[in-house]
Amino acid sequence: MLFVEYLDASVDNSKSIMLGGMFWQSIYGQYTQFGYSGV
Amino acid sequence: MSLGNFSTEYNSTTMATHQITPKTTGGYLFRLSEFGFGKTDLTAQTEYYESILNNDPADYDTYGEYSNTTSFAMNFRGLGLPTEEFNKFSNLVSLATKGESTCLSYKGGYCVLSKPCSGYDTLWDYSFKFRVVDSEDLNYIRIPLATFAANYV
């Protein structure tokens, strides 16, 4: 499953790309595994 | 972005930083000059990204000031793509998986694959690449597609 979600652009708060928790989790994961230069 | 406190493990004077600024002071939208889905080959030093920005004039009518912007939402799970961008991504991921993906284009719709994550090897070479216009430099961020993938149980 890919947590890429459809946002209904007829609503104002669904008109911009949303980067959610998994995005930050990924950066934190790379940081803790490979150090800051690995991010 | 310095919107609050951050971990003391992070030292902004000795560690790498990349500063980005919102579109308006105190705002939550960040303008994007680039947002694409594709691949980077580090060995061959090549890359190809298909833009999934919503910057067509027709899109601007729909999105107005929200076109080509992103927001960071900790209360949101994965990646949220507005209608046009979701549809573009849906086509691209279908090509990348040779038609094994199904993306539901309605409110709350996600993309599902026919096999578990381990059933795909080359798919995880794909990533999203974005660059914020109001940055201190020309650096960009790549987010692996795998960031947003999980086996559904």
DSSP symbols for B116-140: -GGG-SGGGGEEEEEEESSBSSS--
This model of the complex carries an ipTM of 0.83
Q: Is A37 exposed, middle or buried (0-12, 13-18, 19+ CB in 10 A)?
A: exposed
Distances (CA, A) of B40 to B47, B77, B101: 4, 25, 22
Nearest to B110 among A5, A15, A24 (CB): A5
B112 and chain A in contact, CB less than 8 A: yes
**Pairwise CA distance, residues B153 & B131, whole Å:** 34
Residue B129, pLDDT score: 94
Give average pLDDT by consecutive 10-residue segment, chain B, 153 residues.
64 76 89 94 92 80 85 90 93 95 93 94 94 87 92 82
Which chain B residues contact residue A14 at CB under 8 A? 80, 82
Taking CB atoms and an 8 Å limit, are A6 and B147 in contact across chains?
no
**Pairwise CA distance, residues A15 & B65, whole Å:** 9
B71 and chain A in contact, CB less than 8 A: yes
Which chain A residues contact residue B111 at CB under 8 A? 1-2, 4
Residue A35 has pLDDT above 90, yes or no: no
Residue B92, pLDDT score: 96
A34 and chain B in contact, CB less than 8 A: no
Distances (CA, A) of A33 to A26, B11, B29, B82: 11, 17, 30, 32
Taking CB atoms and an 8 Å limit, are B107 and A8 in contact across chains?
yes
